[in-house]
Amino acid sequence: MYTICFPSGTIVNAGDVAFFSRALSVLRRESGAKTMKRFETRIACASVGVFIWLGGLYATIRGLLYDESALFRYGMLALVVGVATFVIALNPLANRNSRK
In whole angstroms, what is the distance from residue 45 CA to residue 30 CA?
33
Residue range 56-92, pLDDT digits in tens: 999 999 999 999 999 999 999 999 999 999 998 888 6
Burial class (CB in 10 A: 0-12, 13-18, 19+), 77: middle
In whole angstroms, what is the distance from residue 100 CA to residue 97 CA?
6
Residue range 14-71, pLDDT digits in tens: 565 555 566 556 656 655 555 555 567 888 888 999 999 999 999 999 999 999 999 9
